[in-house]
Amino acid sequence: MRKHWIDNLRWVTVLLVLFYHVIYFYNNKGVFGGIGGFGEWPECKQYQDVVMYILYPWFMPILFLLAGISARYALAKYPAKEWFKARTRKLLVPSTIGLFVFHWMVGYFNTVVAGRGGVFDGVPAVAKWVIMAVSGTGPLWFIQLLWLLCLVLLLVRKLDKNDKFWTWCGKANIVWIILLGVLYWLGAQTLIKNPRPESADGLLNLYKPLFYLVPFLLGYFVFSHDEVQEKLAKAWIPLLACAVIAGGILIGTTFGQDNTSGRYMGSPLNNIYGWLMCLAMMAWFKVRFDRTSPFASYMAKSSFGLYIVHYLVIASFGYMMKMYTQLPPWAMYVILTIAVFTLSPLLYEILRRIPFVRWAVLGEKKKA
């Protein structure tokens, strides 16, 4: 029986990612990427940036948690080789071949926004295309890393061939479930607190492989158990209340800092809030949203495609409005929000109907 709460939580989180990127694109808190804010912090407060502080500690970890749960269910139905082949088509193809087919356009805006437009001067067209394609990775880091974690999972499963460890994890009570946040915090300690300029430190802090490995494996071994999900569901109200309190304290004491830095993410309070929100969101959706509808069914099927294509809308519209119009900031936010939530589905529906592009950009099989 399909667990609709997992589908619903996944597509709702993807929509939050889209909105996060609207705010992030114009942030002035020093977060890497985007085009910058409408004034310097702290003179220009930009309180709308609070959205980043609310979402960033938990919304990507929860996607890896759900991916781990889904991997467990899928591997119970399909041979590992067949599952990994499907994962490669769905994750690796769009994040490699798709860069050259579609995301080179994102790379163009990323390069221009970063002030490196001159890098193309005198560069042959083919080399220019390659530079833009590589620069267009953007949010696709998520599916690149997820593919790698799927490969790691196949190796880890060989150590638990008889599911003894998986079975033991299913006995966890609510106290142990909450205490698993210690592993979440330990994962965050692998981030580089003081990244060196002009090094790969920043790239490591972007991908966070060891940090995201923790929720992915916890999803597979712990939260894929019906018993664990039921224990979470019974505690959804106190979990959500504690998460809100922790988040309020975190934001109230750190607003203005770069909330994506290794130092910030490794702080105990950030990890307490992030872990409690992961638990609370899973528990809340298990209790309240374990059902579907025509709209929810569509979103469950299309949310991956929306994630893949949405940043081109953000980068292009966000850049053009900031550089070539005199619109007030509030209007830019409104227009960009409307654009990403309307044009992304339209772009997805167009791309999925084009042979080869459907496979290369979205990782979808040919239509029957």
Q: For 170-195, write each residue's pLDDT tens digit.
A: 999 999 999 999 999 999 999 999 99
Residues 277, 218, 192: CA angle, nearest 5 degrees: 75
Per-residue pLDDT, 119:
66
Model confidence at 117, in pLDDT bands (50, 70, 90)?
Answer: low
Which residue in 77, 81, 79, 138 sits closest to 105, CA to CA? 138
Specify which residues 255 forms β-bridges with.
257
| pLDDT score at 113 | 84
Angle at the Cα of 182 from the Cα atoms of 179 and 186, rounded to 5 degrees: 165
Quick one: pLDDT at residue 114?
Answer: 77
pLDDT value for 121: 75
264-to-128, 202, 249 alpha-carbon distances in Å: 36, 14, 14
Calpha distance 278→273 (Å, rounded): 9
Q: What is the pLDDT of residue 116?
A: 61
Q: What angle do CA 27, 11, 151 make, to 5 degrees?
A: 95
Torsion over CA: 322, 23, 187, 85 (sign): negative
Mean pLDDT, residues 39-54: 96
> d(Cα 360, Cα 309) in Å, to the nearest integer?
12
Say what the pLDDT of residue 368 is: 45
Q: What is the tens place of the pLDDT at every residue in 13-29?
A: 999 999 999 999 999 99
- Give percent of the chain above pLDDT 90: 92
Around Cβ 289, how many Cβ atoms within 10 Å? 16
Say what angle helices 59-75 and 268-288 make with each other, to 10 degrees.
50
Task: State the residue for tokens 């607003």.
Answer: 255
- Is residue 332 within 8 Å of 289, Cβ to Cβ? no
SS3 category, 352: coil
User: Has residue 122 got a pLDDT over 90?
Assistant: no
* Higher pLDDT pick, 237 / 114: 237
pLDDT in tens, 254-298: 999 999 999 999 999 999 999 999 999 999 999 999 999 999 999
For 327-353, what is the mean pLDDT?
Answer: 98
Average pLDDT over residues 320-328: 96
As to burial, measured by CB atoms within 10 angstroms (0-12 exposed, 13-18 middle, 19+ buried), residue 98 is buried
